[in-house]
Amino acid sequence: MQLALYRYWRPQRFAEVVGQETTVRALVNAVAQGRVSHAYLFSGPRGTGKTSVAKIMAKAVNCEAPWEGEPCNACWCCREITRGAFMDVIEIDAASNRGIDEIRDLREKVRIMPAQGKKKVYIIDEVHMLTQEAFNALLKTLEEPPASVMFILATTESHKIPSTILSRCQIYGFRRLSGEEIVGRLQQVVGQGSVEPAALDAIARRAGGSLRDALGILDQCLVLRNGEVRKQDVMDVLGIVDDGYLGDLVGCVAAGDVRGVLTLLGRALDEGKDAQQLVRELALYWRDLLVLSTVGEGMEMAVISTDSLPRAREQAAMWSSTALLAAVEKLMDISGRLRLQDNPRYVLEAALLGLMPVAGGREALRMPTPGEAAARRPAASRAREARENPAREEGAFPWAQVMQRVKHKRVTTHALLAPAQVLGSEGGVVRLGFSPAFTFHREKLAERENRELVLQVLEEVTGSRWSLELVQMAPESNGNSLVQTAKEVFGEDRVEVKE
């Protein structure tokens, strides 16, 4: 049987370790200067090199011909350790029952001199799993360690380790590997193979900083297509959708395009994508938008690839950071609850519609004529407006045409306009109303670039020049159109309004 990639590609020298520079440098120096400590704790996320570095360390202190702190990997000791057959390098899995027994007789065993090498090295993995009793036993040995013994403890959860133990160890942190570091290693692994760069990029993004996970995904993809890897394969292996799709979906939400949202969602679910996974990916997409809108470029994106950045930048500009954060939180929250749902599709649909600008869902599908918009407002406010604008001509303004043309010119401006209601168009002034939920849209439209585009289109469509008044409306005027939309979409009986 062929060795799994991640095992075949286990680093055998400090120089082969990806990332973890500070840790590696400190350890190499300690070995080179003959100043190794008797106890180390390697702490950090899974698959970042803790066990690998522990074994390199074990070789380095036992090697017959070490060179500048590195093991030679050629002498008998090095080879036996690599094989896992060296008697003086003892690996204990603290998560297993046997591991606990092994810790219990540690105190006697450590007194016995090394049988084959210079130093006995105990590598205790998952050390946070030890029982209190086992911790006590370990502590006793750490308090009075024989000179010929070295301990390397490894854990993903150092906060679970008693401080009495921590204080007797030199502690080294292992960090998540960056996307770039992971891609670099994957490239090395595939060599000259036929692999789409976007595929490696996608793997790195989904590996969460773990090189072991990244190699695992790559392995599955390589098997799938006999050595070739495409981005689509990665998506299939992971059961996820690509960021182009996520961008389309988020675009529909932004534009209040209910039909678009439902169609895109349906497509993915029909293709067998997992709803929970999809929500997770969506949450990450919004998280990336939040990062773009607050910190800006230069931060690592979780799901958005370089190709998709231009559109993502535009999308990020369409929400306030508060709204982006709310979207991330909402989706995270839902992702936890989806597991318990027997019909995740509806939960997901409702969540996405809920993220639409409150009144936008309906308006964007079919822009109301000013007459309709006026009719939707309470009679009292209509009467007030009639008094204020006696010359008002209802129903004649070609707003739908204006929207059409704006959309053609700049999608983002169109989306900002989507929740607007035409309140009036007289005296050379077009008055657009925004409910308080769309303050952000209103403010964005007031910026020169957007404003000028709208004015230009108004002139093109009507043949005369206008000025624009962007009005904040009272909260009541947006009615309950989200509930209405939900009822239309899900059916009357499925929608329950909770106050």
Asked if residue 75 binds Zn ion (CB under 5 A), the reply is: yes
Q: Which are the contacts of 350, defined by CB distance < 8 A and separation ≥ 6?
A: 486, 490
Order across the sheet with 120-125: list the strands. 89-93, 120-125, 149-155, 39-43, 170-173
Least Cβ distance, residue 88 to Zn ion (angstroms): 14
Matching residue, tokens 């050379």 = 428
The neighbour count for residue 477, using CB atoms within 10 Å, is: 18
Asked if residue 175 binds ligand ATP (CB under 6 A), the reply is: no
* Site track 50-69 with Zn ion (rule: CB under 5 A), x = hit: -------------x------
Matching residue, tokens 């005369």 = 464
Least Cβ distance, residue 50 to Zn ion (angstroms): 22
Sole binder of ligand ATP in the list 14, 27, 36, 50 (CB under 6 A)? 50
> Residue 111, exposed/middle/buried by CB under 10 A (0-12, 13-18, 19+)?
exposed
Least Cβ distance, residue 3 to ligand ATP (angstroms): 10
Asked if residue 11 binds ligand ATP (CB under 6 A), the reply is: yes
The neighbour count for residue 232, using CB atoms within 10 Å, is: 15
Q: Which does 72 bind (CB under 5 to 8 A by kind): ligand ATP, Mg ion, Zn ion, none?
A: Zn ion
Q: Which are the contacts of 109, defined by CB distance < 8 A and separation ≥ 6?
A: none
Looking at residues 215 to 274 of the shown chain, list those that interact with ligand ATP (rule: CB under 6 A). 215
358 is written with which tokens? 């409150």
Closest CB to ligand ATP among 90 and 455?
90
Least Cβ distance, residue 39 to Mg ion (angstroms): 17
Residue span binding ligand ATP (CB under 6 A) among the ranges 41-49, 140-148, 356-364, 468-476: 41-49
d(CA 124, CA 237): 33
Closest CB to ligand ATP among 152 and 422?
152
Sole binder of Zn ion in the list 72, 262, 317, 347 (CB under 5 A)? 72
Looking at residues 12 to 71 of the shown chain, list those that interact with Mg ion (rule: CB under 5 A). 50-51
Asked if residue 78 binds Zn ion (CB under 5 A), the reply is: yes
Residue 358 contacts residue 379 (beta carbons within 8 Å) = no
Closest residue to Mg ion, Cβ-based? 51
397 is written with which tokens? 């303004």
Task: Supply the DSSP string of 171-208, one letter for each residue.
Answer: EEE--PPPHHHHHHHHHHHHTTS-B-HHHHHHHHHHTT
Q: Could you report how far apart the first and last alpha carbons of the chain are, in Å?
A: 61
Asked if residue 14 binds ligand ATP (CB under 6 A), the reply is: no
> Residue 260, exposed/middle/buried by CB under 10 A (0-12, 13-18, 19+)?
middle
Least Cβ distance, residue 190 to ligand ATP (angstroms): 14
d(CA 383, CA 230): 63
Least Cβ distance, residue 304 to Zn ion (angstroms): 46
38 is written with which tokens? 């008797």
Least Cβ distance, residue 294 to ligand ATP (angstroms): 30
Q: Which does 433 bind (CB under 5 to 8 A by kind): Zn ion, Mg ion, ligand ATP, none?
A: none
Looking at residues 201 to 220 of the shown chain, list those that interact with ligand ATP (rule: CB under 6 A). 211-212, 215
Closest residue to ligand ATP, Cβ-based? 49
Residue span binding ligand ATP (CB under 6 A) among the ranges 9-17, 280-288, 326-334, 397-405: 9-17
Sole binder of ligand ATP in the list 12, 23, 156, 293 (CB under 6 A)? 156
Q: What's the Cα-to-Cα distance from 414 to each of 12, 16, 311, 450, rounded to whole Å?
A: 57, 52, 14, 9
Least Cβ distance, residue 72 to Zn ion (angstroms): 3
Residue ranges binding ligand ATP (CB under 6 A): 6-7, 9-11, 17-20, 46-52, 125, 154, 156, 211-212, 215
